[in-house]
Each structure stands twice: as structure tokens, then as C-alpha cells.
A and B are shown apart, each in its own frame.
Chain A
Amino acid sequence: MNRHFSCLALIACVGLGSFARASFVVEVTRGQTEAIPIAIVPFSTPAEAAATFDVAQLVSDDLARSGRFKTMDRQDMIDQPHTAANIAFDDWRRLNNDYMVVGSVQPQGADHFTITYELYNVLTRQRLLGYQITANRPGLRSASHQVADMVFEKILGIRGAFSTRIAYISVLGHLPLRTFQLIVADADGENPRVVMQSNEPLMSPAWSPDGQTLAYVSFEDRLPTVYVQTLKTGERHRVSAHAGVNQAPAWSPDGKKLALTLSTRDGNLDVYVMDLATQLLSRITDDPGIDTEPQWSKDGQSLYFTSDRAGGPQIYKTGIKPGDKPRRLTFQGSYNARPRVSPDESQLAFVTQEDGAYRIATMDLRGRGDVQVLTKGHFDVSPSYAPNGAVILYATRDKGRGVLALVSADGRVQQLLVSSEGELQEPAWAPF
């Protein structure tokens, strides 16, 4: 008994601190979650190519939009070095920069350019990156996103998602004549491209895991019908046109199945899984309430979905094997819907009702299920995770117009994506 007790006491003592041998120990148990200061110095460009493209500005914008970086305004820069030899590190440090990027854009022939860039740690004066990328004129934009991705990953240890794409629905015009567009754009909202247009509603775009194909719901046949469209070829297939409702498609992680919502003859909605090769359906939920908005777990063995079986909409999870029973996940508040799983399945993002407003919230899936409301808008809906999980894209309203917005997964940074026209809805972030 005594021995037992002394052992416990010893463990407790060892746990209290492990570095007693040093003469002087300082313990740091907290840190800041503020943005990291970085300066992206304008790249040098020969006079004849000066108007080509501002690589440094795009890199700076990308990093700032991520919420993780605080980029230095150009007008505050006392100098614009392009190589390490010209960097006065002490000055940049005095301007409170931890990192800086310098580089150049050199024309190679008529229409090609070489981007050279270096990333420095201002505090330690270490060179962290040094690369060259070659691109043609239209490719300079995506090459710049690549530079931002590299810098992001080097400093934060997580992959950048600046080179990825997003899909969303844009509604133009007013009733009775409206045009619905399915649009694919760069992650920063640039380069929008219409991949499908209809005078009847388009809804619920969903990316296949390989990023080659989109599934979506079209009302072009009067009833909601699920289509799958290959982006490169524009080839479309109607994959689910059962009597009644066909909606909310979601690709399984292996890309071989679609989870979707179908209605029975009496109009009851339940979640089904369809094998894309055989078109065979298996019913996943069977409840008189509405079961919809399915999302796959990372292992492809379970589905998260919204159900009003307990009254108001709440989020549930169920295995897809016969006999698996759904388990309710959300309990705070009377409205929790549209679940989206973070790429590492550590978090669930969803729409919650708070003070009469719809907002984006996350729930911790690994710990105690803590819920954090991330946004403060009145109509924040349709969350979608960036493939690195750092940011959530969602739809909101700004000055009476539907727009897209970003919030970092920890809720610290929020930002609107600029858009030229239309009511933007239902964004879906593509995989890497």
C-alpha cells in the first residue's frame, strides 16, 4: 500500500516538470493565434514585361486571404530587394516581419516566363525556399498560386489550397425569367467558367474525389434529377431520375458510389446509396421523418445526414451496413443541418440557428463534441471545407445579394469573395 502510494507520488512529481537539470528554465504554455507577418516584395521584371502580371501581389493576396498571414503593404516597404544579397535583414525585422519573399519574373522567348523566388526567415536569416517555375502568359496566375502554396506549407506545415478550384451556382435575373449557372472558378473566385446553364433551378454541386467530375441536381426535367458531368469533355449523364425527388448527391471517398436523397411514393425522404457502375440502390435510412443531405465519412463506411425525426433538423451519423442504427450528433439548439466533414474528419461544419440567424458552426469530432459558431451573419449557409481543412467556404448575403465568403476553421478570419454579378449559392470546394 505504502509502496503503491509513493510510486503514484513519484509519477506526479515527474509529471510536474521534466527539465530540472538546467539551471534556468522558462515554461511557455500558451501562444498567440495571430497572423504571421510576412512581406512579399514586388518581383523584378524587365521593363518590356512590366505590365505582364503581378506575381507578388497575387501571392500576397492568397496568403492574406488564408487568415494565417498578415502581409505587409507595399507602401510601407522601405526597399524592394530581389535577391538575398540586397536584403537588410535588420531593417525588415525592425518592420516586424518574420518572413519575406523576394523574386523575379524573366521572359523566356515570346510568351514564356521564368518565375524565380526565395523565401527567407527574417529572424534567423535562413533561406527556406528557392525555386524557379516556368509558365506561359495565361499560366502565370496558376504559377503564382503555386508559389503561395509553397510558402504557406513551408511556414505552417500544412498544404496550401490556393491552386484548387471551387464550384457554385449563380442565379441571374428575376422571376419569372431566371438563368441558373453552374460555375467552376479558381479558389480565389477568379477565372469563372460556366459549365452548365439552365432556366430551371440547378442545385447541390458535388465534386468527385478526383476533381474531374461534378454531380448536381437539375430541374430541367421538371422534377429534381441527379446528373453527373465530366468537366473536361462536358459529357453529362442522368444518374438518378426516380419518380419524386432525387437530390443532395455526395460522392463516396472511392468515387464509386453516390449517396443521395430519394422520395418514396408518399413523399417521405430517405437517404440511399447508389452504385454508379450498376445503378443499384441500397436504402440507408428508413424513417417517417425527412432524412437528407448525406455526407460520407473518410473511411466510406458511414454517412452523416440531416434528419427531422426528433422534431427540428439535427445531424446524425449512421453506418451504411444493413442494421446500422443512426446516432444523433448535434444537441445544441433547435436547428442544425447541412453537415460537411473536414478532410481529416476531425471536425464537422454545419448550419446552425442562433438568435434567429443562420450561421456556420463546427463541432469537434475527436474530443468532447465542442461546438463553435464561426460566423456572425444573418444568412450564412452551405459550408464547404477547403481540401486542407484550414478554411470553410460558405454562402451569405451582402447588401441584399448572395455572395460567397470564407472563414478560417478556427473562426479567427472571415472574408468575402468578390463577385461580379448574380446571386451566388451553394459553393463546393474541389479536392486537391
Chain B
Amino acid sequence: MPGFLREHRWSITFSVLLHALLGAALLFATLISINRSTPGNPQPIPVDAVVVDSQVLHAAQRALADRAEQEAARARAAAEARAAADAAAAEQKAQDQQRAEDAAKLAVAADTAKAASAAQAQRAADAEKAAAAKRAEDLKRAEDAKRAEDAKRAEEAKRADEAKQAEEAKHAAELKAKAEREAELRRQLAEEEHVSAVEASPARAQYIARLASRIQNAWIKPPSARAGLDCVVNITQVPGGEVTSAHVSQCNGDAAARQSIENAVYRASPLPSPPDPALFERNLVIHFHPEE
């Protein structure tokens, strides 16, 4: 319970205050209504006592009343006349004043109107001028904007064109590179197959080693045959190993290098025989690429 109180302290306080306020408002309203009703309540007057003698008194009273009435009427009439005169004078004065005021107002209004009209004319002229300037400005701005827009569009078109061309070139290059990679891959695979085939046959590997050794020993390198020389010579041999032709097919060396390579092959003739006659190859390819 105290927890609830603490928790809703402000709500409760608010609620209590609200109720108190409402109570106060109701009381106030009641008080006001009581106040208002008080003058309206008829007081009980004791009239029964004079009714018996009224006939006597009545005439006197009437005469008195009549006189008073007449005097009052006179006074009233005089007062009324005075009041009327006063009123008329006041009326007149008021009317005069009103007229003067109106006239002044009119004059001011006229001045104001005149000034206003001049100002208006000036404003109109200024506005016209400003408008003209603005129109010119707008026109210029519009033209500039249009030019800029055109230039931008042309630039964009150019850029788009270039981008397109670059994209196409890139694409072509990619295709080419891909084709080359594939070709290399095929070549590599073929070579791997070749190597594995050779490795699978120790006799064949031995034969190749013997051929290489024989030709290597027969090759007298010319001065130009340094590292970087890369030449291929195609050889035809007959059974027995005699070389019948040696021809350098591709070579980045000079004539002396080519000749030295063909000579090496002839000098190595007859070439060694394979350990297994089935391994004999009539056509050989020798790759010359000195390492130093």
C-alpha cells in the first residue's frame, strides 16, 4: 500500500487537487446563484391596516399628488426643455466636430491616397524595371543552364561512349587473355601428359638423357650463345642413329648460333640407340637454351 502511494504519488496528488478544485468551483457557483436570487425575493408588506381609512385620505392625497404631479410635470417639462436644448447644442457641437473630423480625415485620406498613388507608381516602375531585369537574368540563366546542360550531356555522352569502348576493349582483352590461358592450360596439360608418359617409361627417359648428353658434348657455343638464347632444331635420324637432316626451325640467335646448333647435331651423329628399339623416334626435336 505505501508502495502504491509512493508509486502513484503524483497521480493521487493531482486527483486530490482536481477534486478540491471542482469542489471549490461548485461552492463558488452556488454562492453566485444565491447572491443573484436575493434581490428578486418579494418582501411581505403589512397593508391591511390602512385600507379601512383610505376614503378620507384619498382626496387629500389626490390633491397633493395632483399638485406635486403638476409641479413635477412642469419641472419635468422645463428639465426636458433644458435637456432638449442641451442635447440639441450638444448634438450640434457633436455634428460640427464630426464634420471637422470628417473633413480632416478626408484631407488626410486625400494626401495619403496621393502619396500612395505616387509610391505605387514608383513601385510599379521599379517593379517593372526589376521584372525586366529579372526576365533578362532569367533568360540568361536559362541559356547558361541550357548551355551547361548541353555541354554536360555531350560530356556524358562522350564519357559513356568512352566507357563503352573501354568496356569493349577490356572485354576483348579478357576474352583474348582467357583464350590464351586456356591454350596455355591445354599446352600445360599436354606437357604434363607427355612428361608423365616419359616418366612412366624409365627406358625412354634414359634414352632422352643420352641424346641430350651426346648433343651437349658436341655443341661448341659461339660467343653469341649466352643465357637467353632459345632455339629449336628438328632432326631426322635413321635406325642406327645417323642424322639425315638437322634444321633450326625457331631461334632468337644469330646465324653463327644457328649454324653451331646444326653442327652440334651432325657432330653428335650417329646418335645413341634407344635401350628398347620400340622407343626409336625418327623425328626428334632438340631445344637449345644455354643457362649461362
Query: Which residues does A use to contact B, with CB under 8 Å?
Result: 7, 10, 13-14, 16-36, 98, 121, 123-124, 154-158, 390
11 A-B contact pairs sorted by A residue (CB < 8 Å): A14-B187, A20-B187, A23-B283, A24-B284, A28-B212, A28-B216, A28-B290, A30-B216, A123-B262, A157-B223, A157-B256
* Additional A-B contacts beyond A26-B208, A28-B288 (14; CB < 8 A): A20-B194, A21-B190, A25-B286, A25-B287, A26-B286, A29-B291, A30-B216, A30-B219, A31-B220, A123-B266, A156-B256, A157-B224, A157-B257, A158-B223
Which residues of chain B are within 8 angstroms of A19 by Cβ–Cβ distance?
A: 232, 285, 287
Which residues of chain B are within 8 angstroms of A33 by Cβ–Cβ distance?
A: 220-221
A164 to B211, CA, bound (A): 43
Query: Which residues does B use to contact A, with CB under 8 Å?
Result: 181, 184-185, 187-188, 190-191, 194-195, 208, 211-212, 215-225, 232, 246, 254-257, 259-260, 262-264, 266-267, 281, 283-292
B221 and A32 within 8 A (CB): yes
CB distance from B57 to the nearest CB of A (A): 136
Partner of B225, one of A25, A31, A98: A31
Contact flag A14-B184 (CB < 8 Å), given A28-B212, A32-B220:
yes
A31 and B284 within 8 A (CB): no
Which residues of chain B are within 8 angstroms of A16 by Cβ–Cβ distance?
A: 191
Which residues of chain A are within 8 angstroms of B288 by Cβ–Cβ distance?
A: 28, 31
Residue of B nearest to A33 (CB): B221
A155 to B258, CA, bound (A): 10
B259 and A121 within 8 A (CB): yes
Q: Which of B187, B194, B220 has the most CB of A within 10 A?
A: B220
CB distance from A117 to the nearest CB of B (A): 18
B287 and A21 within 8 A (CB): no
B290 and A27 within 8 A (CB): no
Which residues of chain A are within 8 angstroms of B292 by Cβ–Cβ distance?
A: 30
Which residues of chain B are within 8 angstroms of A20 by Cβ–Cβ distance?
A: 187-188, 190-191, 194-195
Which residues of chain B are within 8 angstroms of A22 by Cβ–Cβ distance?
A: 285
Which residues of chain A are within 8 angstroms of B211 by Cβ–Cβ distance?
A: 26
CB distance from A400 to the nearest CB of B (A): 36
CB distance from A7 to the nearest CB of B (A): 8
A36 and B220 within 8 A (CB): yes
Partner of A25, one of B215, B266, B285: B285
Interface contacts (Cβ under 8 Å), in number, total 122
Which residues of chain B are within 8 angstroms of A31 by Cβ–Cβ distance?
A: 216, 219-221, 225, 260, 264, 288, 290
Residue of A nearest to B256 (CB): A157
A121 to B267, CA, bound (A): 12
Which residues of chain B are within 8 angstroms of A26 by Cβ–Cβ distance?
A: 208, 211-212, 215, 284-287
B interface SS class: helix
A28 and B215 within 8 A (CB): yes
Which residues of chain B are within 8 angstroms of A121 by Cβ–Cβ distance?
A: 259, 263
A136 to B289, CA, bound (A): 47
A411 to B233, CA, bound (A): 30
Contact flag A156-B222 (CB < 8 Å), given A26-B215, A31-B290, A123-B267:
yes
Which residues of chain B are within 8 angstroms of A13 by Cβ–Cβ distance?
A: 184, 188, 191
Partner of A24, one of B208, B223, B254, B255: B208
CB distance from A253 to the nearest CB of B (A): 23
Which residues of chain A are within 8 angstroms of B187 by Cβ–Cβ distance?
A: 14, 18, 20-21
CB distance from B47 to the nearest CB of A (A): 125
Which residues of chain B are within 8 angstroms of A27 by Cβ–Cβ distance?
A: 212, 286-287, 289
B285 and A24 within 8 A (CB): yes
CB distance from A360 to the nearest CB of B (A): 19
A28 to B218, CA, bound (A): 11
B263 and A98 within 8 A (CB): yes
A121 to B232, CA, bound (A): 20
CB distance from A34 to the nearest CB of B (A): 6
Top 4 A-B pairs, shortest CB-CB distance:
A157-B256, A20-B191, A123-B266, A31-B219
A17 and B219 within 8 A (CB): no
Which residues of chain A are within 8 angstroms of B223 by Cβ–Cβ distance?
A: 156-158, 390
CB distance from B127 to the nearest CB of A (A): 71
Contact flag A29-B285 (CB < 8 Å), given A19-B232, A36-B220, A157-B256:
no
Residue of B nearest to A389 (CB): B223
A25 to B288, CA, bound (A): 10
A273 to B250, CA, bound (A): 49
A36 to B218, CA, bound (A): 11
Which residues of chain A are within 8 angstroms of B188 by Cβ–Cβ distance?
A: 10, 13-14, 20
Residue of B nearest to A19 (CB): B287
CB distance from A192 to the nearest CB of B (A): 30
B216 and A155 within 8 A (CB): no
Residue of A nearest to B219 (CB): A31
Which residues of chain B are within 8 angstroms of A7 by Cβ–Cβ distance?
A: 181
CB distance from B262 to the nearest CB of A (A): 6
Which residues of chain B are within 8 angstroms of A29 by Cβ–Cβ distance?
A: 216, 289-291
Residue of B nearest to A37 (CB): B220
Which residues of chain A are within 8 angstroms of B287 by Cβ–Cβ distance?
A: 17-19, 25-28
Residue of B nearest to A126 (CB): B259
Residue of A nearest to B235 (CB): A26
Which residues of chain B are within 8 angstroms of A156 by Cβ–Cβ distance?
A: 222-223, 256
CB distance from B274 to the nearest CB of A (A): 10
Partner of A28, one of B195, B219, B263, B281: B219
Residue of B nearest to A20 (CB): B191
CB distance from A408 to the nearest CB of B (A): 10
